[in-house]
């Protein structure tokens, strides 16, 4: 029996338009399944009896996903949204409904929706049902049900919150690898800037020249083109963000991804030099850069969450500089970075068998827009089991006391005491009209809890007039020094114990089998693999021991420190692999210019393997001494 934690298990009863009756919606979102062979801390989740409804049996088509034990096999239709009549499925939608119609693409593979149609009127049921059992008749009733389902779930605050959290989690998973690659790029670029050259130089002994120039010497001001500003008029291109932003805001402990492009977009293909950095008085504000053929993605991080309230906000500035071919002036982008403390989540309340309060949590008066769904949040301290079953112990009713013809109000609940009342203001209500609503919870022995709230009919927010696009201007600024691209294209890969004996993942070119003593290897470019592969062994024995030691250290190290030290080790090993490859290619190039007996021979696979293992062991020992 595999236990699957549930992040959201919500029941919503909603009135279908045109007087077709009601539908009952149950939406369940489970936690994502961790990667194979990786253990992650158990998340804080809402427990549900849903955890005990199915065996986690492995099947051959999608058993690896978090919903693999609950959805039907692909052979018979893999539906994550089903429509039930008398408990039997009559229609289903695949996960494209979650990503396309609801726009929750990060929840697509772990969300299930069950729609019970038993509350439809007799006329609506007779139209939507087919005697052939080949699905629901997709006429007016079906379209009304589907539209109400989309309208109710797409505006659901709980689902929107989970979508945002999933987006941030995806960013966090990529941030560590990007930090390693950024550190490795810095090491390689620094190596080339300081390295000696075998070729001719100038009278001062300068190194060999490479394609690509300096952005600047970092000391003298020079003309730069920015978007906006108070300088003189200039010509495109400029550096800008996608989408356009005036500042960057993030919470402490989170990452913010900023996409930098050129305007016009196609000019990026002529980019010669690019550099991005973040400046701040706080060293915890850091930056990682990933550059592709049409843009640069900058990930800004601030891991420090232990600061007090009086130490926020933390202010910094993102600075990006670029030089394009045949454009003499430098292009610059500067944006303020503002870090604030994330508000603390509310304390969970104690849920009782006999609830004692019912209160409104939404801001009042609630803004009601005709023909638009509005979710009003409320809370009580009753257990969710009081609302389960065909004859629940407690029932909720809600009505508009001002307007008797107001459409029936939908109701939803979760397992943590949060309630949702879904309002569907009809078309034709006067703007500014104030409406009073009353919510009553009725329990055994005529026990009652009541709450009221007020709503105001408002018009939809007018779409803001797009501001006049800023024009490029020429100002005087200081640019940092940087050299052109000198490193060969490479790709950083990782291997773990599960793939040690995989013939497709050899240790060096000779096809050797990995062991726990191997730190890494490089695989030279080939016709099928045009990039230099730098492979680091994640399950090296010394590395595992080193990480376990950091976890057990007293006082315990924070996760950021552990991640930084692990990334530092990976960067150093990968950098040495890069140097080993460069030395091999240098010796191979010398063979054509001198007799073989006068040229040092490149190391064989055995010696190369022993060298990187010694380097990995040395780096590990030095780092161990540094943390004791």
For 148-194, write each residue's pLDDT tens digit.
999 999 989 999 888 888 776 654 444 456 667 666 766 776 655 55
Q: What is the pLDDT of residue 120?
A: 93
For residues 219-244, give the mean pLDDT: 82
CATH class of 358-457: mainly beta
pLDDT in tens, 412-469: 998 889 999 999 998 888 999 999 999 999 999 889 999 999 999 998 877 666 667 7
Predicted pLDDT at 20: 92
pLDDT by residue (tens digit) across 523-579? Answer: 888 766 767 888 888 888 888 888 777 767 766 565 667 777 888 888 888 888 888
Q: Which of the four pLDDT bands, split at 50, 70 and 90, describes residue 362? A: very high
User: How far is C-alpha 121 from the geometric centre of its chain's CA atoms?
Assistant: 43
Angle at 510 between CA 571 and CA 589, to 5 degrees: 75
CATH architecture of 218-344: Sandwich (2.60)
* Long-range interactions of 35-41: CB distance < 8 A, separation 24+: 36/64, 36/498, 37/496, 37/497, 37/498
Q: How far is CA 535 from CA 175, 416, 479, 512, 532, in A?
A: 19, 46, 35, 13, 10
Name the phi and psi angles at 61, rounded to 5.
-110, -35
Q: What b/e readout covers 490-509, taking b as 16+ CB neighbours within 10 angstroms?
A: bebeebeeeebeeeebbbbe
Alpha-carbon span 295 to 261, nearest angstrom: 5
Domain with CATH 2.60.40.10 in the chain: 218-344, 358-457
> Strand pairing of 448-457 and 472-478?
unpaired
Which tens digits make up the pLDDT trace of 313-335?
999 999 999 989 888 888 999 99
Question: Residue 205's pLDDT band (boundaries 50, 70, 90)?
Answer: very low
pLDDT of residue 106: 79
- 449/197: higher pLDDT: 449
pLDDT of residue 437: 96
Residue percentage of the chain with pLDDT more than 70: 76
pLDDT tens digits, residue range 112-143? 999 999 999 999 998 988 766 678 888 899 99
Q: How many CB atoms lie within 10 A of CB 382?
A: 24
């Amino acid at each position: 029996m595999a236990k699957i934690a549930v992040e959201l298990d919500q029941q919503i009863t909603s009135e279908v338009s045109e007087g077709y009756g009601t539908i009952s919606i149950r939406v369940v979102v489970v936690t994502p399944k961790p990667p194979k062979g990786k253990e992650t801390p158990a998340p804080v989740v809402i427990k549900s009896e849903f955890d005990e409804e199915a065996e986690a049996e492995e099947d051959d088509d999608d058993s690896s996903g978090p919903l693999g034990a609950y959805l039907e096999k692909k052979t018979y239709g893999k539906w994550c949204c089903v429509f039930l009549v008398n408990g039997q499925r009559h229609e289903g939608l695949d996960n494209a409904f979650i990503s396309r119609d609801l726009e929750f693409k990060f929840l697509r593979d772990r969300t299930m929706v069950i729609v019970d149609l038993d509350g439809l009127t007799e006329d609506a049921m007779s139209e939507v049902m087919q005697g052939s059992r080949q699905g629901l008749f997709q006429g007016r009733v079906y379209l009304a049900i589907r539209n109400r389902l989309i309208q109710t779930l797409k505006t659901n605050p709980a689902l929107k919150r989970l979508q945002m959290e999933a987006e941030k989690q995806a960013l966090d998973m990529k941030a560590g690898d990007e930090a390693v690659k950024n550190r490795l790029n810095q090491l390689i670029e620094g190596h080339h800037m300081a390295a000696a050259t075998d070729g001719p130089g100038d009278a001062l002994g300068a190194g060999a020249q490479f394609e690509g120039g300096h952005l600047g010497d970092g000391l003298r001001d020079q003309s730069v083109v920015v978007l906006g500003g108070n300088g003189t008029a200039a010509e495109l291109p400029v550096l800008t963000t996608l989408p356009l932003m005036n500042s960057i805001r993030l919470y402490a402990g989170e990452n913010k991804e900023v996409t930098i492009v050129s305007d016009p977009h196609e000019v990026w293909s002529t980019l010669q030099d690019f550099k991005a950095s973040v400046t701040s008085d706080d060293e915890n504000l850091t930056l990682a850069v990933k550059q592709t053929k049409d843009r640069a993605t900058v990930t800004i991080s601030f891991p420090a969450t232990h600061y007090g309230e009086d130490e926020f906000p933390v202010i910094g500035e993102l600075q990006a500089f670029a030089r394009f071919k045949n454009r003499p002036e430098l292009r610059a982008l500067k944006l303020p970075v503002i870090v604030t403390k994330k508000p603390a989540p509310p304390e969970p309340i104690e849920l009782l068998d006999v609830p004692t309060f019912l209160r409104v949590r939404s801001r009042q008066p609630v803004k009601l827009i005709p023909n638009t769904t509005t979710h009003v949040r409320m809370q009580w301290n009753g257990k969710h089991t009081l609302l389960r079953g065909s004859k629940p112990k407690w029932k909720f009713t809600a009505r508009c006391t001002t307007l008797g013809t107001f459409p029936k109000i939908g109701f939803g609940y979760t397992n943590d005491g949060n309630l949702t009342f879904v309002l569907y203001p009809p078309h034709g209500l006067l703007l500014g009209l104030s409406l009073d609503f009353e919510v009553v919870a009725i329990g055994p022995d005529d026990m009652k809890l009541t709450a009221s709230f007020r709503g105001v009919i408002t018009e939809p927010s007018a779409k803001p007039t797009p501001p006049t696009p800023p024009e490029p201007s020429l100002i005087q600024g200081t640019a940092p020094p940087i050299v052109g691209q000198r490193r060969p294209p490479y790709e950083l890969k990782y291997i773990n114990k599960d793939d040690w004996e995989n013939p497709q993942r050899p240790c060096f070119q000779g096809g050797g089998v990995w062991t726990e003593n191997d730190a890494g290897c490089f695989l030279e470019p080939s016709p099928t693999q045009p990039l230099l592969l730098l492979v680091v062994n994640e399950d090296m024995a010394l590395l595992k021991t080193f990480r376990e030691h950091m976890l057990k250290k007293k006082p315990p190290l924070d996760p950021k420190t552990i991640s930084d030290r692990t990334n530092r080790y990976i960067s150093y090993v990968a950098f040495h692999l890069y140097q080993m490859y460069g030395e091999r290619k240098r010796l191979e190039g010398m063979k054509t210019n001198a007799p073989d007996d006068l040229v040092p021979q490149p190391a064989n696979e055995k010696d190369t393997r022993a060298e990187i293992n010694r380097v990995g062991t040395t780096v590990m020992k030095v780092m161990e001494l540094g943390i004791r």
